[in-house]
Amino acid sequence: MAKITLNNLAHSYYPKPKVEDDFALKELNYDWADGEAYALLGSSGCGKSTLLNIISGLLHPSQGRILFDGLDVTHASTADRNIAQVFQFPVVYDTMTVRNNLAFPLKNRGEDPLYIAERVQQIGQMIGMEAELDKPANSLTADAKQKISLGRGMVREDVNALLFDEPLTVIDPHMKWELRTQLKSLHHEFGHTMIYVTHDQTEALTFADKVAVMYDGRVVQIGTPQELFERPQHTFVGYFIGSPGMNVISADITGKVANVHGTSLALNRGYKDLNGKVEIGVRPEFVSLTEGDGLPVNVRRVEDVGRHKIVRADLFGNEINILVGEGVEVSPDMNRVTFDPQHVNVYVNDWLEAGEVA
């Protein structure tokens, strides 16, 4: 277990990167606290696997340093870093039994056979495969194989960190839930530093204490699920997290007033001298559909998803999503929207503008 420090870290797959766009992973400084569970969230190709492989030592960064508990491990091998990693697709040693698969990392490190037997039994129980321990690994389903991979990742107690690279891709939905819960309880029990890569927001938000959202090779925000929901630092975070994502509407802002296509909206905070692309972001949860005042919208359709309704509407030619409670009737006269000023965020060139409370 260790604190992992990333210092000026960046990586490019080109031998001589020139412009910033050449970098698959843009410069990054961060401390991953000891014993916390993190998720790296982002769409495919955003650099999350690159970052994970750099931490695990499978990839060496083009610049910067990685420190484990203050010790520079930038050039240390995977084995020396003493980390465990679980991959997207199950990796099992086909010719071995489940038991031997789980024991393999311990045997390679020359552990005491008695300890190995005991530990393997324990892990077998943990992943719910006690009954299959003596079966050959290649006779099992993809689910079960991935459980073996997870088990092999957790079999060593002294690892500095446990890394997961979209480990539940091949698992059935109901098993996903179960395994995720198990991982979480393991985390509570053993307190390993865990980093979990995924493109599924539900997975990230339920698993992790803190979620790092990545976009185009950059970590755009690291925060608790609540922070990501309430104060997205970047329009991408707002858009990517939430279902549906945050509405982003272009606006002119002077002081505490936003002007959206000729209609003024009061803001909670004051903003000065905004240059560039100015937008306001407001989550569908904080938009209300009314008959009274507000911005005029054309309701296109209403999707009833059970817990609530999603109203898809048109605001000056842009799509806007509105969340309406289950009990509320959507009438044809409701053609205006208002925003909860508490939850309106202002973005300049896609980045959150803090503003001043005045």
Partner 1 sequence: MEKTVNQKAWFLILPVLLLVAFSAVIPLMTVVNYSVQDTFGKNQFFWAGLEWFEEMLRSERMWDALGRQLMFSAIILVIQVPLGVFIALNMPKSGIWSSFCLVMMSLPLLIPWNVVGTIWQIFGRVDIGLLGYTLDALGISYNYTQNTFAAWVTIIVMDVWHWTSLVALLAFAGLKSIPDAYYQAAKIDQASRWAIFRYIELPKMMGVLMIAILLRFMDSFMIYTEPFVVTGGGPGNATTLLSIDLVKMALGQFDLGPAAAFSIMYYLVILLISYVFYTVMTNLDKKGG
Footprint on this chain of partner 1 (rule: CB under 8 A): 56, 58, 77-79, 83-85, 87-89, 91, 93-96, 104-105, 108-109, 136-139, 149, 152
Contact between 164 and 151 (Cβ < 8 Å): no
- The helix (run of H) or strand (run of E) holding residue 145 is helix 142-154
**Closer to partner 1 by Cβ: residue 7 or 97:** 97
**Closer to partner 1 by Cβ: residue 12 or 146:** 146
Give me the least distance between CB of 151 and partner 1, in Å please.
12
**Closer to partner 1 by Cβ: residue 96 or 330:** 96
In whole angstroms, what is the distance from residue 345 CA to residue 343 CA?
6
Structure tokens at 22: 């050449």
Mark out the alpha helices in 172-260 (DSSP H runs).
173-190, 201-207, 225-230, 235-240
Give me the least distance between CB of 84 and partner 1, in Å please.
6
Sole residue written with tokens 């925060």: 223
Give me the least distance between CB of 83 and partner 1, in Å please.
7
Sole residue written with tokens 């996903």: 176
Residue type, 237: V
**Closer to partner 1 by Cβ: residue 82 or 263:** 82
**Closer to partner 1 by Cβ: residue 58 or 310:** 58
CB atoms within 10 A of CB 11: 23
Give me the least distance between CB of 54 and partner 1, in Å please.
13
Give me the least distance between CB of 98 and partner 1, in Å please.
12
Structure tokens at 297: 């919208």
Residues 220, 214, 182: CA angle, nearest 5 degrees: 120
